[in-house]
């Protein structure tokens, strides 16, 4: 079952209540009963043995919910499914633990809902109460053991491997609560996720194991996040980098390009596994992404990008409450691959739509609203999501990471609103999208004044260790030139360009080049959609060199007007003209432009 933990196969509830028989399950007299329904919030009576976050199945459809508060025999349950038609008096069944899903091979390339129920096609709406397995129970996976009987197996150890996709070799891990001597391991061969492949301390282990959807997996010791995640987007990698295991948020008003930017990262970043969680966004956007990702090739592996992607769909047409769980489910899946020693990335679009679910829940449960109707638990809930990031020494002795990126859609572009403000406290990097840039079709509309990254220093250090000691210097010069150009532009609007001193006219010119040749990036151009580190550095160096040479010329008395008349449009075209990793191609264009400039002096 995709969703387990409850009274499986009717075994948990015996007896009979008013001759009510549901799905082969007889209802016990005096068992839990619905007393009140308010949207996704259900109050149940007769819940003596319940614990917080226990799974509950409610009503004849067996809607899935979780206990969120308890008082005596009464429990409040958050339903993850549409509760229309449910009425007081309906029966309910208490599960034997939290909501879990089977984690194992078959997640990659799959599309799931917020409870990790597998969807057969994007946009599929499961009927309420449906039990769709997370993993295909029929599928056989080629297992190669890596351990021998008699070996000591500790939690998180690699028992063997399975080729999960063309790009990802799944490492079959001993579940976190297993340790002991290996009594038996299956021979190399093909197994379903239901069949045992090893035995430790009398316990049979399979290719998959159930895991509570909300629960963080124990990851081993944290190590510093110092390796950059290459997003392939210049405005991010050059100015506001994010390290593997770190966090970033993309706040931006309506239509400023949050989804396009996050989708570009999903396609072109160099993480091993991408978990893309769509929370309350338009379903067609996700369907398009799935189609594109299936057709595109990963430049690193040459395989389909789908071979490294897991999609969790809780689009705007799906029940609001499942959004709440979906981001945690996404983090759990990412942690599984982290534990295998991979760099995983979780993308949540949008955390504001996710927070709407919290607000709805709070209003139904009567929780006291704090800011703008959001409960006081908004901040801890956001923190508990972003805290799932990190780079760790895995229990198997490798290194893996979870990086988390979230879109934030502040209503009216108000950056002081609660979701944006709290998110800013928990993430290390903010990629703020600017409405004016988006209107001017400067894409991605990443603001160089409102964005920030606390990963600049470790990433600069890493570049330096890799032999590029100039990375930080180029970044510093770019940031300074952008600020200078903004300042000069403001003056030019008052007094006119002709009244500016020559060096300031150069700042205006090369500031524009920096925006057009480096920061703007077309998501639609084959050459430009992804930009490798070498080409990124070459494009920025080109603009900085042109800037230096032009300043040198005006210093020697060449009028700025003559430089302005020069056709430098090839600089802005370079990003689309040469391939994503063709630094030499950019350098050739730069040399040509520098020669043209040099001819003036």
Ligand X SMILES: Nc1ncnc2c1ncn2[C@@H]1O[C@H](COP(=O)(O)OP(=O)(O)OP(=O)(O)O)[C@@H](O)[C@H]1O
Interface with Mg ion (CB under 5 A): 258-259
Cβ proximity to Mg ion: between 259 and 453 the closer is: 259
SS3 category, 118: strand
What is the Cα 301 distance to its own chain's centre?
21
Cβ proximity to ligand X: between 256 and 403 the closer is: 256
Cβ proximity to ligand X: between 205 and 236 the closer is: 236
Residue 105 interacting partner from Mg ion, ligand X, none (CB closer than 5 to 8 Å by kind): none
Q: How many residues does the chain have?
A: 601
Please, which contacts does 45-51 make with residues 24 or more away whose CB atoms are closer than 8 Å? 45/73, 45/74, 46/73, 47/73, 47/74, 47/75, 47/94, 48/73, 49/94, 50/75, 50/94
Could you write out the three-class secondary structure of 234-299? HHHHHHCCCECCCEEEEECCCCCCHHHHHHHHHHHCCCCEEEEEEECCCHHHHHHHHHHHHHCECC
The CB-of-345 to ligand X minimum distance in angstroms stands at 18
Residue 252 interacting partner from ligand X, Mg ion, none (CB closer than 5 to 8 Å by kind): ligand X
Structure-token pair, residue 386: 């972003």
The CB-of-178 to Mg ion minimum distance in angstroms stands at 41
CB-CB neighbours of 218 under 10 Å: 13
Among candidate residues 319, 323, 373, the one with its CA nearest the CA of residue 348: 323
Cβ proximity to ligand X: between 184 and 439 the closer is: 439
* Contact partners, residue 319, CB within 8 Å, separation at least 6: 40, 80, 81, 82
The CB-of-252 to Mg ion minimum distance in angstroms stands at 9
C-alpha 215/C-alpha 348 separation (Å) is 18
Binding region for ligand X (CB under 6 A): 252, 254-260, 409, 443-444, 522-524
Residue 444 interacting partner from Mg ion, ligand X, none (CB closer than 5 to 8 Å by kind): ligand X
The CB-of-281 to Mg ion minimum distance in angstroms stands at 5
Residue 145 interacting partner from Mg ion, ligand X, none (CB closer than 5 to 8 Å by kind): none
The CB-of-248 to Mg ion minimum distance in angstroms stands at 16
Cβ proximity to ligand X: between 59 and 232 the closer is: 232
Cβ proximity to ligand X: between 198 and 437 the closer is: 437
Cβ proximity to Mg ion: between 157 and 286 the closer is: 286
C-alpha 105/C-alpha 168 separation (Å) is 10
Residue 254 interacting partner from ligand X, Mg ion, none (CB closer than 5 to 8 Å by kind): ligand X
Cβ proximity to ligand X: between 259 and 309 the closer is: 259
Residue 184 interacting partner from Mg ion, ligand X, none (CB closer than 5 to 8 Å by kind): none
Among candidate residues 424, 377, 385, 428, the one with its CA nearest the CA of residue 240: 428
Strands (E), 280-357: 309-314, 343-349
The CB-of-233 to ligand X minimum distance in angstroms stands at 9
Helices 471-495 and 456-465: crossing angle in degrees, nearest 10, is 130
C-alpha 78/C-alpha 598 separation (Å) is 70
Residue 523 interacting partner from ligand X, Mg ion, none (CB closer than 5 to 8 Å by kind): ligand X
Cβ proximity to ligand X: between 245 and 410 the closer is: 410
Residue 409 interacting partner from ligand X, Mg ion, none (CB closer than 5 to 8 Å by kind): ligand X
Separation in Å, CA 10 to CA 6, 23, 24, 28: 9, 8, 7, 11
Residue 375 interacting partner from ligand X, Mg ion, none (CB closer than 5 to 8 Å by kind): none
The CB-of-581 to ligand X minimum distance in angstroms stands at 20
The CB-of-587 to ligand X minimum distance in angstroms stands at 25
Separation in Å, CA 165 to CA 142, 161, 446, 531: 11, 12, 34, 26
Work out whether strand 309-314 and strand 343-349 pair parallel, antiparallel, or are unpaired. unpaired
The CB-of-471 to ligand X minimum distance in angstroms stands at 24
The CB-of-407 to ligand X minimum distance in angstroms stands at 7
The CB-of-278 to Mg ion minimum distance in angstroms stands at 9
Residue 432 interacting partner from ligand X, Mg ion, none (CB closer than 5 to 8 Å by kind): none
Cβ proximity to ligand X: between 260 and 479 the closer is: 260
Residue 100 interacting partner from ligand X, Mg ion, none (CB closer than 5 to 8 Å by kind): none
C-alpha 21/C-alpha 24 separation (Å) is 6
Cβ proximity to ligand X: between 250 and 537 the closer is: 250
CB-CB neighbours of 3 under 10 Å: 26
């Amino acid at each position: 079952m995709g969703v387990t933990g409850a009274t499986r196969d009717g075994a948990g509830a015996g007896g009979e209540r008013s001759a009510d028989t549901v799905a082969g399950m007889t209802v016990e007299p005096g068992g839990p009963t619905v007393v009140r329904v308010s949207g996704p919030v259900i109050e149940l009576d007769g819940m003596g043995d319940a614990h917080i976050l226990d799974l509950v199945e409610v009503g004849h459809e067996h809607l899935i919910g979780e206990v969120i508060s308890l008082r005596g025999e009464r429990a409040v349950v958050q339903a993850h499914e549409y509760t229309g038609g449910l009425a007081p008096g309906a029966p309910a069944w208490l599960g034997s633990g939290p909501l879990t899903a089977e984690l194992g091979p078959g997640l990659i390339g799959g599309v799931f809902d917020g409870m990790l129920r597998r969807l057969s096609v994007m946009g599929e709406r499961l009927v309420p109460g449906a039990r769709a397995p997370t993993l295909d129970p029929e599928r056989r996976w080629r297992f190669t053991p890596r351990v021998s009987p008699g070996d000591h197996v500790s939690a998180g150890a690699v028992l063997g491997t399975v080729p999960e996709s063309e790009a990802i070799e799944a490492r079959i891990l001993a579940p976190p609560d297993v340790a002991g001597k290996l009594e038996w391991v299956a021979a190399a061969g093909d197994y379903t996720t239901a069949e045992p492949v090893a035995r430790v301390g009398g316990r049979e282990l399979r290719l998959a194991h159930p895991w509570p959807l909300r629960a963080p997996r124990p990851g081993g010791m944290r190590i510093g996040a110092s390796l950059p995640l290459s997003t392939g987007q210049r405005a991010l990698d050059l100015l506001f980098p994010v390290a593997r295991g770190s966090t970033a948020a993309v706040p931006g008003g309506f239509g400023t390009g949050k989804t396009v930017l996050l989708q570009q990262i999903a396609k072109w970043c160099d993480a091993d596994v991408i978990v893309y969680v769509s929370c309350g966004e338009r379903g067609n956007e996700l369907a398009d992404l799935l189609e594109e990702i299936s057709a595109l090739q990963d430049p690193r592996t040459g395989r389909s990008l789908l071979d490294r992607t897991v999609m969790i769909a809780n689009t705007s047409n799906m029940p609001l409450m499942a959004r709440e769980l979906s981001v945690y489910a996404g983090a759990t899946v990412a942690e599984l691959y982290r534990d295998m020693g991979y760099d995983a990335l979780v993308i949540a679009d949008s955390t504001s739509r996710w927070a709407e679910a919290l607000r709805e829940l709070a209003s139904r449960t009567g929780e006291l609203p704090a800011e703008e109707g959001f409960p006081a638990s908004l901040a801890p809930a956001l923190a508990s999501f972003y805290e799932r990031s990190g780079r760790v020494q895995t229990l198997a002795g490798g290194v893996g990471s979870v990086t988390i990126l979230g879109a934030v859609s502040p209503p009216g572009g108000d950056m002081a609103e609660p979701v944006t403000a709290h998110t800013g406290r928990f993430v290390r990097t903010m990629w703020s999208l600017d409405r004016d840039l988006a209107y001017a079709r400067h894409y991605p509309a990443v603001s160089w004044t409102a964005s920030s990254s606390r990963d600049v220093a470790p990433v600069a250090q890493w570049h330096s260790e890799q032999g590029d000691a100039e990375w930080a210097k180029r970044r510093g010069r770019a940031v300074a030139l952008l600020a200078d150009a903004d300042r000069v532009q403001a003056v030019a609007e008052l007094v006119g360009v002709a009244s500016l001193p020559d060096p300031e006219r150069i700042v205006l010119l090369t500031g524009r080049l920096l925006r057009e040749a480096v920061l703007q990036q077309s998501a639609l151009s084959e050459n430009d959609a992804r930009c490798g580190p070498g080409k990124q550095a070459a494009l920025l160096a080109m603009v900085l060199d042109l800037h230096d040479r032009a300043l040198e010329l005006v210093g020697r008395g060449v009028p700025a007007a003559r430089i302005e008349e020069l056709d430098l449009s090839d600089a802005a075209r370079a990003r689309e003209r040469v391939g994503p990793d063709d630094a030499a191609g950019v350098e050739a264009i730069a040399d040509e432009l520098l020669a043209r400039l040099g001819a003036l002096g």
